[in-house]
A and B are shown apart, each in its own frame.
Chain A
Amino acid sequence: MRDISKPVRRFDASEKIAGVARFVDDHYEEGMLYGKIVRSERVRAKIKAIKIPELPEGYHVISAKDIPGKNRIKMIFDDWPFLAEDVVNYFGEPILLVVGPEREKVYEISESIEIEYEDIPAILSVEEALLNKKPPIYGENNLFADYFFEKGDVENAFSEADEVIEEEFKTGFQEHIYLEPQGMIAKYNNGRIEVFGSMQCPFYVKNALIEEFDTKPDKIRVVQTTTGGGFGGKEEYPSQIAGIAALGAYKTGKTVKLVYDRAEDVEFTTKRHPSHIRIKGAVKNGKVIGIEVEIILNAGSYAGLSSVVLQRGMFAATGAYSIPNVRVIGKAVATNIVPMGAFRGFGAPQSIFAIETFMNHVAKRLGRDPVEFKLSHRYRKGDTTATGGLLRNEVRLPEIVNRVLSMSDYYSKKKEKKEGKKLYGIGFSMFLHGCGFTGNGEEILKSIARLKKRKDNKVEILISNVDMGQGPQTTLRKVVAEVLGIPYEDVIYENPDTDRVPDSGPTVASRTAMIVGGLLYRAAKELKEKWVDGEEIVVEKQYRHPEYIKWDQEKFKGDAYPEYSWGANVIEVEVDPITYEIDVKKAYAVFDLGTPLDRKIIEGQIHGGMLQGIGYATLEVMEQKDGRFMQRTITDYIVPTALDAPLFETDLVSQPYEHGPFGAKCAGELTFVGAAPAVCAAVEDALQIDLYEIPIRPEKLLTIMEKKNESEV
């Protein structure tokens, strides 16, 4: 048997290096039309009138009125239109689509369209939304979701406590900056709509189009084109672009290409939810015995996936810690800004930042070492989670933590601070991530994966999950080939086409390797039994949670996830004592993500995820003013370059999950969640201060240090 974890060359890499892989914008077609979206220039307003200039031949302007079916993007709630009808709810909301053969002309026309608005008082912040003095955006109180759950007796814990500590944390917007901007190409042929594009979830797009065109499933075909990064940004948002492009194709009978430019992508696509998190902890005999966490997410103007993002955030509220008495309150609040959406970690990074920083502060206050303090609260096998789910598998946190400490030489560095021109600091975080869909998601999805053995004895993987860079083209091929004992090259896995593949669910929630890979693993086992040379054989497997998983979606009780991955990070920083710029020097990480399906691919996930998390904590600033983002291009919104990136050192501890393929658990999101709190702890260490907010901005540090120095004088 080959070692499944042993790195192989990625199957999709050669053509990407050579520049022959075709991303959406690389598809051209004779007679194709270009599309441009006309967007709202108001934050919140009624549309009074639209003045369209006389159009040259071959050019068209398309509006919500052209939608034959329902003008709502199919998601959890029923509020987000493809194109605005009579009101707009955020600056940049799509109103019209202009299409035509010459791109410049299309842009010209789109700029010459005049829209008359009547402003409605806009809700510009979460505070304003909660005050509820202006006409609500959603429902009666602007809340897309308002949740609550409890474990143990929190009130009693507070009354018994030696000390009650309460702190508030804030996290900012984050933009994905996948290197390939969003885009779709749509065609209309004989009553059939076909869409090709950059996406994570072909069936989300398909289901959205079925409702938009009020048609049968066989009239819609969705094909993923090679996708240049997603990180959640291509989970739900592509449905809107696809819907708009498809409408253009439907109206004109021609192929329509709608590709965003970077500025459009930065300013008008979904972002990570900013959060405001209040934590109140009851401390007794040096332990946190009770905790109340209130999470408020700015969800933007439409519900999107915010309710589930909030759930994942709430279920992660106590981090990797076993706290007997827990109360978690959560609200997803509507404001007039672009809808917030999925982004690697999906609500968990906000919570993990807050709980990790809180635990640090409490440890410092008690005069305890943060690492030891955290370890004394860690989850163990047999513990129940905040929602009362059972941890059935070994939790190898002591081993993970010890390894990251020795790798980084944490204690000696922390003690003898390096002398230098810059202020040196070192920080630690430990955390978990729930694998797969949150709550009852997998049970609703009932994903199906299919393997088809062809007459030539090659085996094709038929699933709807995509490779957006995270590597399933390679890892899933390895899983199938390994079970069957055939060469990796004999496994075929094309970009999904909904005409050919079953719905194995979206490419999200770190579920592809563990859940879909698990289905393929079982399908391959069965195929191996049935194998007959030269014959075509098809095997299908459908997902069910293991019998022991119990979950109550109404009460948020039970196993919110079938399994967890774990990790610990150490980060070293140097802070400039004059400018307070933060230089992240080294990042160490140890993870338990089960059996790695390819060590190199996992390594790549770790570096990339951690750097994105480091950016989230430092450089990646996005602010809102009067309903508009101040950072509107990639020049203003800064992501780390090779000069900003630290050196990474990583290691794995592998506790296999019996239902994951070869024991694999979740990986992609786990790598992101621990970096920001570790950076924060390192900056706190360097400056000997407490911080409550990310991104950590030099200007803010300057103010804090000025105050600190004043009070010390």
Chain B
Amino acid sequence: MKVRFKLNGEEVEVEANPASRLLDVLREKFGLIGVKEGCGEGECGACAVLLDGRVVHSCLVPFANVMGKEIITIEGLRKTEEYRIIEESLLDAGSVQCGFCTPGFVISIYALLKNNPNPEDKEIREAISGNLCRCTGYQMIIDGVKLAAKRGEKLWKA
């Protein structure tokens, strides 16, 4: 089946089995390796992408469902100023260890700050509760989010 959708700002059309997972199409047809498979069960968030601005786990999305929609992956996000702020903040807060979970967290953090530029601790925890991290204990990721909220103040409110 041929599916047309917007991927990281560009209109694309691709032929794939409609039942295949969005995750596989992104990784294999488009080479978007920043979208990771940590579980394939919707539990870890390593495969997170934005679908029309909302965070989804691409391992659970059948490819046919993206017809006419807009998908943004970490590869698309990293061209933005918002990404740069998040990146710098995660670097300074020491939020990254093995890094396998990180692109998925960036997606969730971006969506959170776009909706809620000044989140409280509890709101941050809720927003990233769909992302598992086995290395950090989360606190330094949360520190990174707070730093990004502060540093990107104007951007998030824009």
Assess whether B149 is interfacial by the CB under 8 Å rule: no
Complex contact B96–A642 (CB within 8 A): no
Stretch at the interface among B8-16, B61-69, B134-142: B134-142
Complex contact A642–B97 (CB within 8 A): no
| CB-nearest residue of chain A to B73 | A19
Complex contact B40–A261 (CB within 8 A): yes
Assess whether A634 is interfacial by the CB under 8 Å rule: yes
Interface residues of A in 678-712 (CB under 8 A from B): none
Contact of B87 among A17, A21, A600, A610 (CB under 8 A): A17
Stretch at the interface among A69-77, A176-184, A331-339, A455-463: A176-184
CB distance from B16 to the nearest CB of A (A): 12
Complex contact A17–B94 (CB within 8 A): no
Complex contact B137–A9 (CB within 8 A): no
Complex contact B99–A607 (CB within 8 A): no
Assess whether A494 is interfacial by the CB under 8 Å rule: no
As a 0/1 sequence over residues 99 to 131 of chain B, the CB contacts with chain A under 8 angstroms (1 = contact) are 111110010000000000000000011101111
Q: Which 6 A-B pairs have the closest CB atoms?
A: A19-B34, A16-B99, A607-B137, A469-B98, A228-B100, A469-B97
Chain A positions within 8 Å of B103 at CB level: 16-19
Complex contact B137–A610 (CB within 8 A): yes
Assess whether B147 is interfacial by the CB under 8 Å rule: no
CB distance from B148 to the nearest CB of A (A): 12
* Pairs across A and B, CB under 8 Å, 23 listed: A16-B98, A17-B96, A22-B33, A25-B37, A179-B101, A181-B37, A226-B99, A227-B98, A229-B98, A231-B134, A262-B41, A263-B41, A471-B97, A604-B135, A608-B134, A609-B137, A611-B138, A634-B39, A634-B44, A641-B131, A641-B138, A642-B128, A642-B129
Assess whether B78 is interfacial by the CB under 8 Å rule: yes
| CB-nearest residue of chain A to B96 | A13
- On whether A648 and B99 interact (CB within 8 A), knowing A10-B94, A17-B106, A612-B134, the answer reads no
Chain A positions within 8 Å of B70 at CB level: none
CA distance A227 to B97 in the complex (A): 10
CB distance from B121 to the nearest CB of A (A): 8
Assess whether A188 is interfacial by the CB under 8 Å rule: no
Assess whether A470 is interfacial by the CB under 8 Å rule: yes
- On whether A18 and B34 interact (CB within 8 A), knowing A179-B100, A604-B135, the answer reads yes
Complex contact B140–A607 (CB within 8 A): yes
CA distance A601 to B86 in the complex (A): 19
Interface centre among B96, B128, B132 (most CB of A within 10 A): B96
Complex contact B74–A179 (CB within 8 A): no
Assess whether B55 is interfacial by the CB under 8 Å rule: no
CB distance from A101 to the nearest CB of B (A): 13
CA distance A21 to B136 in the complex (A): 18
CB distance from B4 to the nearest CB of A (A): 24
Chain B positions within 8 Å of A23 at CB level: 36, 100
CA distance A17 to B93 in the complex (A): 13
CB distance from B76 to the nearest CB of A (A): 11
CB distance from A675 to the nearest CB of B (A): 10
CA distance A176 to B101 in the complex (A): 15
Chain A positions within 8 Å of B97 at CB level: 229, 469-471, 604, 608
Chain B positions within 8 Å of A19 at CB level: 32-36, 73-75, 78, 102-103
Majority DSSP secondary structure for residues of B touching A: loop
Chain B positions within 8 Å of A633 at CB level: 39, 41, 43
Besides the known contacts A18-B74, A231-B134, A262-B41, 4 further A-B residue pairs in the complex with CB atoms under 8 A apart: A17-B86, A18-B78, A25-B37, A26-B33
A interface size (C-beta, 8 A)? 56
- On whether A262 and B96 interact (CB within 8 A), knowing A13-B90, A17-B90, A643-B126, the answer reads no
- On whether A9 and B43 interact (CB within 8 A), knowing A179-B132, A607-B139, A645-B139, the answer reads no
- On whether A229 and B100 interact (CB within 8 A), knowing A607-B139, A611-B137, A642-B129, the answer reads yes
Complex contact B92–A9 (CB within 8 A): yes
Complex contact B87–A179 (CB within 8 A): no
As a 0/1 sequence over residues 648 to 661 of chain A, the CB contacts with chain B under 8 angstroms (1 = contact) are 10000000000000
Chain A positions within 8 Å of B22 at CB level: none
Assess whether B72 is interfacial by the CB under 8 Å rule: no
Chain A positions within 8 Å of B132 at CB level: 177, 179, 634, 639, 641
CA distance A501 to B118 in the complex (A): 48
CB distance from A181 to the nearest CB of B (A): 7
CB distance from A384 to the nearest CB of B (A): 35
Assess whether A603 is interfacial by the CB under 8 Å rule: yes
Chain B positions within 8 Å of A178 at CB level: 98, 100, 134
CB distance from B20 to the nearest CB of A (A): 9
Assess whether B155 is interfacial by the CB under 8 Å rule: no
Chain A positions within 8 Å of B134 at CB level: 176-179, 229, 231, 608, 612, 639
Complex contact A262–B36 (CB within 8 A): no
Assess whether B71 is interfacial by the CB under 8 Å rule: no
Chain A positions within 8 Å of B18 at CB level: none
Chain A positions within 8 Å of B125 at CB level: 642-643, 645
Chain A positions within 8 Å of B140 at CB level: 600, 603-604, 607
CB distance from B71 to the nearest CB of A (A): 14
Complex contact A12–B129 (CB within 8 A): no
Chain B positions within 8 Å of A468 at CB level: 98
CA distance A523 to B130 in the complex (A): 45
Assess whether A647 is interfacial by the CB under 8 Å rule: yes
Chain B positions within 8 Å of A179 at CB level: 36, 38, 44, 46, 98, 100-101, 132-135
CA distance A206 to B72 in the complex (A): 41
Complex contact A10–B39 (CB within 8 A): no
